[in-house]
Amino acid sequence: MQGFRHKAAVALLKGLVLAAPVVPATAPAADAVEPVIARIESVDVPARTIRADGVDYSLSGRAVLTLPPKKRLGLSDLKPGMRVELMPAKAGATVVNRVVLLPD
């Protein structure tokens, strides 16, 4: 009796292992994140926020600020009137992962 249970358990495990790749690993399609091009109205360095085109954007903890091609900037380098490209963390979100300073 014990041998039969063992063989049945092994067969079940083999079946699960073999069937696992057959099951499609589909994840729900995420909305595409589109960059936002805006003109800065104000910058709050201590709060890590940028107000641009009437919307308050907050910078994520790992946000990167750059000047093309690859020069890094600090938040205090941004001034009202500058044009920027803001890359939200998620579609429709106001938390930003990347800010790129654009030429006027």
**The predicted structure's pLDDT at residue 24:** 52
Q: How far apart are CA 94 and CA 2, in angstroms?
A: 61
**The predicted structure's pLDDT at residue 66:** 94
Asked if residue 29 belongs to a domain, the reply is no
Asked if residue 72 belongs to a domain, the reply is yes
Asked if residue 47 belongs to a domain, the reply is yes
Please give the residue range of the domain that contains residue 53: 36-102
Count the Cβ atoms, other than its own, within 10 Å of residue 52.
Answer: 24
Give CA angle at 20 (18, 23), nearest 5°: 125
Asked if residue 48 belongs to a domain, the reply is yes
**The predicted structure's pLDDT at residue 4:** 61
What pTM does this model have? 0.68
Question: Rounded mean pLDDT of 12-28?
Answer: 53
Token pair listed for 64:
């990167």
Among the listed residues 55, 61, 66, the one whose alpha carbon sits nearest the alpha carbon of residue 94:
55
Total domains, the chain: 1
Asked if residue 15 belongs to a domain, the reply is no
Question: Rounded mean pLDDT of 9-16?
Answer: 60
The CATH code of the domain that includes 45 is 2.40.50.320
